[in-house]
Structures are given as C-alpha cells and as structure tokens.
Structure 1
Amino acid sequence: MPDMIVVGGGVVGMLTAWTLGQAGAEVLLLEKGETGREASWAGGGIVSPLYPWRYSSAVANLAHWSQDFYPRLGERLLADTGLDPEVHVTGLYWLDLDDQAEALAWARTHGRPLSEVAIGAVHEAVPVLGQGFERAVYMSGVANVRNPRLVKSLREALVRLPNVSLQEQVEVTGFLQDGEQVKGVRTAQGDFTADSVVLAAGAWSGELLAKLGLVLPVEPVKGQMILYRCAPDFLSSMVLAKGRYAIPRRDGHILVGSTLEHAGFDKTPSGEALSSLRASAEELLPALAGMEPVNHWAGLRPGSPQGIPFIGEVPGHQGLWLNTGHYRNGLVLAPASCQLLVDLMQKRQPIIEAAPYAPEGRLVATPIV
C-alpha cells in the first residue's frame, strides 16, 4: 500500500508526486487521461502572473518562491531525464498599462526588477513590435517554460523514481472513508488504499470533492491560444498589451493568448476566438499579418476566488489534502505550492506562511444526495 495517492496528473499533481517521492514517500499517482494533457499542456508557460501587482500577497509569495526556483528545477529535470523543459529567460514588457504607477510601486515594495522604459527603447529591443504603443514597463529575468516539454520531463522523472507509481486512464470516482479518515479512492478499475490522498485534479477537483458533500469553489475557465512558426530570432522578449501576450520559444514558435471564457467543461476551439487572437497577434507583432497559425487549442483553468489556491488538509476529513485552484497561475505557482504542501504533510516548517491557502473556512458543507 502506498503512503500517498495523488489524484491528477497535471504539473501540480506530478510535481506533488515528485516532491513527495524525493522526500522518500511511496506514492501512487492516478490520472483519468494522459498526464499533462489538460491545463498544464494548454497554457503559455509564463513564469509570472500576468499582472503580479493585481494579486494578493498570497499569490505573490508563492510566485516569488517559484520564480527563483524554476531555473534550478529546469536544470535538475534535464540532468535527471535528458528532457529539457526549456526555461527560457526573456524578460517581459507590459505596454500601455492603466495602472502603471501601481505596478511600479508594487515593484519597489517587493524588490522586483520592474522599471519604466521609453517606448523608443522598447522598439530598439523588440523591432517587430507594432506601432501605436505609448508607454512600457519591463521586468528582467522573467522566464517562460515550454510546458509540453515540462510535463514530459516531469513524467519521465516520476517513472525513474522507484518509490513512485504512475497509472494513466484511471478515473477517480470517489473516496474510501473510515469515519472521518480518508483511506483511499474508488475508481472503475477498483479501490486503491493509502494513508493519505492528495486531490490535485485542477478544474475537476470541485466535482470530486462534492462526493464528500463539500463545495470547493473551483470551476473550469476556458482559455484559447494560437501558435505561429517564425525564425528563432524573430521575437526577443515576451510582450503583453490589453490582456493579450506573445511568448517566444527558443526555436521561433510564438504563442499568443489567451481568452477567458466561462463555458463549463467545453474545450472546443471557436472561430470567434481565433479571429480575436489573430487580431491581437497582429496588433502586437504586425509581421504576423497574413500568416496562418500552425495550431489553435483550448484548455480549462481551475478558477478560484482571487486566484488563491487551496493547499492543506480538508477539515473533518483526515488524510485528504488539497493542492488545487491555481487559476491562471498553475505553472508559476506549482513549485512553491507543492513544496508547501509537502512541508505541511510532513509537519516541517513551511517555506511560507500557510494560513492563506488553508481549506478550513473556505469550503462549504452540503447534504449528500
């Protein structure tokens, strides 16, 4: 019997299993489909909240720890697996912010390298940037991670750990209980028992927790992206304006995103979103006009109140832990979230103050029908 079962094979679930495994636990990870093929695969991979100054300190504290940790994580995964997640440091320009003064004040308070830049200097640094922008701020050191490669390297890292087992195409349908103790999970393939269960199922976490009569305010929020293929030196830095961004990969691929849609669990890409994303792409980078995107897809983020994830043990259900609800910031918050969870599970001093993420007081009990 494993010490822990992790439910959900996205970046958060896999990194949770990897961190637990590194700490010596016997771990079983269960994924209803293929690992890393939901929100983790679909996102852009910016290792920063899009507008970090607009979030609470709860999100900022996780983000800062993860941003500092990501380069080491990339190096470790490459060394362990031979698969490079491509943590690509490009910096990020924000253009024509309505709250630029607030952004700069936030940077001074938190010691982050964000500064105002003359728009002419931006055009010198990013010659393909469109005209018409008037103001800019820049943060050096901001990276993007190539998330499809990150999930591949994480999966390989898990496979190589002798104390971690991974099973795909196993959908968890409920929980095993002994009084207030959660002792495992139910699946179509049978029951699995463990000392503890970690629910890290992203947008699907709320549906699973409802099996216990608990309302977890995590809901799917659809996001659509498009991808262009350009020369490797086409775009030197990430750029963001009017809520839309362009992200350069090392090989010249350019991601442009993203939409925010409340459409339940529908992941169908739409023509309307494609047109809107192409217009944003061409406003940011006019050289893309007339080019056909090479891909267009949608994913489902786990939306949560204020984007603050749920990390900790579920009150009244001993042995059941949450690591979910990261909304738009799953990739950037994952390393800190997983380390914090493991610190709590193993009763160690947590890396940051854990209270803002605790499920206690943030869940609602309802009758099970």
Structure 2
Amino acid sequence: MHHPDLCIAGAGIIGLSLALELHHRGYRVTVFDQGDPLAESSSAAAGMLAAYDPDNPSQLLPLATLSLSLYPNYLDRIHSLSGIRVPFQTHTTLQSVPTRTAATSSELTAKDLSHLFPALVPRKHRFILLDEHSLDPRQLASALLAAIHATTIDLQPHTPILSTRPVGNAVEITTPIGTMQTAQFVNCAGAWAAASSHQPGIPVTPKKGQMFSVVLPPSLPMHFVVRTPDIYVVPRTTGPSAGRAIVGATVEDIGFDKIVHPSDIDHLRSLAITLLPILASTQQLEAWCGLRPATADGLPILGTLPGRPNHFIATGHYRNGILLAPATAKVMAQLILGETSATELTSFSPNRFLSELPSP
C-alpha cells in the first residue's frame, strides 16, 4: 500500500470536505469508509444552513457564521472540479420562536403571515423571518463525490479501519486489505466515530431522524422553509426534486436502528398538517431516516485526540453537518498544518470530554 500524508476515516460530508481542502493545500489524502461514500446522514439531511436556529447552542454561532461565509467558495470549488453547480433552494426561513421571548423587530404579525403565506395556520406559534439558505444534500453529495473523483484523493469505500497506533512520528493503520503508514489521521466517522474499533471512548452517540417527502400542490407556491421546534417543511424549488418538500424529523436515542416506522411518519405528517393544512392532500413520495452524530452538549468535537500523537477528530455535528462542512474543513486543515484557526475552537476541544485514551 502507498503512504499518504493523511488518512481520514469516514467519507461523509465532513470527511470528504476536509479531504478536498487538504488536497487543495497539496496533501496526498486517503479516505476510508466502512460503507458507501455520503450514504448516511450526509444525504439523509434536509439541507437547512440553519446558522441562526434559536435551538442551536450559542457557542456554535462563530463557527456557523464562518461556514456561511465560506459556502460560496466551497460550492465554486466543487463546481470547478465536478462541473456540477449546486444551487441554493431557498433563501428565507419562517422560524417559530417561543411565546415567552420578548418581541423583536423581525417578528411577523398574523396579518403579515396571512399575506406572506395564506396556507399557514400559526396557532400557538410566533414567527420571525431569518435570512437563511437551504440546499439539496443529495445534489451536494453527487457533486462532491464527482469533485473527489476528479482529484488524486484515494477513496476506499467498504474498507473499515480495524486499528490505528502511533509508530514513531507516523500512524500505522490496519484495514482488511493491509497495513499502511501515514503521517496523520483524522476520525470523521460521524455517528460511528465511537463505534469504530480503532478508537474507543469517543463520546458520540447516534440520534435517529425519520423524515419523508411530499409533492407540493400547485396552489402552494412554497419558496421558503417553515420551522418550529416540532416540525420543519423544506421545499425544493429547483433541480430534479423541484416541487417537492421535505418534512421532518424525529429525534430518537435508540442506537443504530434505521428502521422507518409508518406510525412515526404519520405523526410527523399530522404535525405538518396542523401547521399547513393544505399538506393533508399531498402525495407522499418516500420516507427514510439518518443517524445524526450527537454529543452531550450539542457541539462538535474538533481537535487533537489526547494521548494519540498525530490523531485528530472532527465529528459530533449533530443536525448541522451540511452547514458546518466548509468551516470544519478549513479549521481542521489549519489545525493539521499548525496554522492559526480562523475561529476559536476551545468550545469544541476533545479535552472537554476525553481523558487520555487507552494506549494503543
């Protein structure tokens, strides 16, 4: 086997975005995945770039806003390599806010809502308008994978990493196809970051999310996201899925179960119909689920693993993997190269959870 500069475990949106960034900086990169690239939460997501979601932890905002600023160049780089342009689907979100919060200048009155969106039934909800984009993660996945294939990045699907250990100034990696050495290693295995046998003790757990898609009726020209604490409706306005909407999502702490339950989908549908009664007549197209990588404080884990020389980790992005991919790629590349980070990373340090990992 060859000897790359860096190996990545996990070919999801985080791992492949980091691989692309490091390749751009001249690194020889190999990416291993136990399954197919971008086949898990990266393509199961709704695609909201929800940097200003009031449910996000406040510590996430600097990284989230950095990522928003990087998104145009990130999509341009993917386009230049793949020839595939990934468009934004929406540019505004109608966000529910708690009734206990003070009124803001952006809060919409019932009259405003009836004018903007006659199909909406506010009921208990108060709403504000957020300047927020969304995109189709499946479009992004296709373009990103094509971009990876246009480079010299060595992508190894269906190749789990069995073990890693420091060897001098290098890292020895064992897979079913052999053993290799690399200068540095990054765990980007998402919800499987802790389940991987090569790095026990990572405090990331899977949070199951079930969701479904519908055909929007012509009488509902929906061009922005509607989101409450219980439900979101994310329209697709352009591309092969134009005229559809994604409705989600459950949040379940039941391990790696990926079974879609009709009763859960029916419950999501009833919540959506309560908010948008016109959805009662829509045709359901498909239902699916993904496993979000969650941490106890809702923040990613980004940094160097304690007790493991040349081992890094970038996981735990929970519901914001699509949003945070460009910023994660940038700050992790800066950390790996010994540069000053574009934003403060203390809140995301592995040290907040991890004591020294077991010796290899």
Q: Same fold (TM over 0.5)?
A: yes
Is the 2:52–2:130 Cα contact (8 Å) retained in structure 1?
Answer: no
* CA distance in 2 between partners of 1:74 and 1:89 (Å): 16
Match of 1:235 in 2: 222
* CA distance in 2 between partners of 1:118 and 1:136 (Å): 8
Superposition deviation, residue 72 in structure 1: 3.1
Match of 1:145 in 2: 135
* CA distance in 1 between partners of 2:73 and 2:112 (Å): 31
Superposition deviation, residue 328 in structure 1: 1.2
* CA distance in 1 between partners of 2:274 and 2:55 (Å): 25
Is the 1:19–1:342 Cα contact (8 Å) retained in structure 2?
Answer: yes
The letter of the residue matching 1:161 is: T
* CA distance in 1 between partners of 2:112 and 2:198 (Å): 55
Change (3 A) 1:314 1:217: same
Change (3 A) 1:351 1:291: same
Change (3 A) 1:71 1:353: same
SS at match of 1:91: strand
Q: Does 1:187 align with 2:175?
A: yes
SS at match of 2:319: helix
Question: Which residues of 2 match residues 5-154 of structure 1 at below 5 A?
Answer: 5-49=7-51, 51-52=53-54, 54-57=56-59, 59-95=60-96, 97-101=98-102, 104=104, 115-130=106-121, 132=123, 135-140=126-131, 142-154=132-144
* CA distance in 1 between partners of 2:110 and 2:78 (Å): 38
* CA distance in 1 between partners of 2:52 and 2:283 (Å): 26
* CA distance in 2 between partners of 1:120 and 1:69 (Å): 36
The letter of the residue matching 2:207 is: V
Question: Which residues of 2 match residues 312-327 of structure 1 at below 5 A?
Answer: 312-327=303-318
Change (3 A) 1:134 1:312: closer
* CA distance in 1 between partners of 2:274 and 2:192 (Å): 35
Q: Per-residue displacement from partner, 1:157-202 (whole Å, max 9, x unpaired)?
A: 111113x1111111112213326x5613221222232111110000
Q: Does 1:245 align with 2:232?
A: yes
The letter of the residue matching 1:194 is: T
Q: Does 1:168 align with 2:154?
A: no
SS at match of 1:78: helix
Match of 2:301 in 1: 310
Q: Does 1:224 align with 2:210?
A: yes
Change (3 A) 1:42 1:50: farther
Superposition deviation, residue 274 in structure 1: 0.8
Change (3 A) 1:100 1:246: farther
SS at match of 2:35: coil
Match of 2:329 in 1: 338
**Runs of 5+ consecutive residues of structure 1 not aligned to the other structure:** 105-113
The percentage of aligned residue pairs carrying the same residue is 27
Is the 1:49–1:328 Cα contact (8 Å) retained in structure 2?
Answer: no
Change (3 A) 1:60 1:172: same
The letter of the residue matching 1:352 is: T
* CA distance in 1 between partners of 2:86 and 2:262 (Å): 31
Q: Which moved more, 1:188-197 or 1:19-28?
A: 188-197
Q: Per-residue displacement from partner, 1:23-78 (whole Å, max 9, x unpaired)?
A: 11000011111111101111111001573465132x11111111222233223323
Q: Does 1:265 align with 2:256?
A: yes
Superposition deviation, residue 365 in structure 1: 4.4
Which structure has the highest helix share of the two?
1
Aligned residues: 353
Query: Could you say what the CA RMSD is over the residues aligned between the two structures, in angstroms?
Result: 2.2
The letter of the residue matching 1:156 is: A
**Runs of 5+ consecutive residues of structure 2 not aligned to the other structure:** none
* CA distance in 1 between partners of 2:44 and 2:134 (Å): 14
The letter of the residue matching 1:10 is: G
Is the 2:230–2:271 Cα contact (8 Å) retained in structure 1?
Answer: no
* CA distance in 2 between partners of 1:131 and 1:203 (Å): 35
Superposition deviation, residue 321 in structure 1: 0.6
Superposition deviation, residue 231 in structure 1: 5.4
* CA distance in 2 between partners of 1:349 and 1:30 (Å): 28
Q: Which moved more, 1:153-162 or 1:75-84?
A: 75-84
Q: Per-residue displacement from partner, 1:54-106 (whole Å, max 9, x unpaired)?
A: 5132x11111111222233223323331223222332111235235439x5xx
Change (3 A) 1:269 1:38: same
Change (3 A) 1:352 1:204: same
Change (3 A) 1:82 1:223: same
The letter of the residue matching 2:225 is: M
Is the 2:166–2:309 Cα contact (8 Å) retained in structure 1?
Answer: no
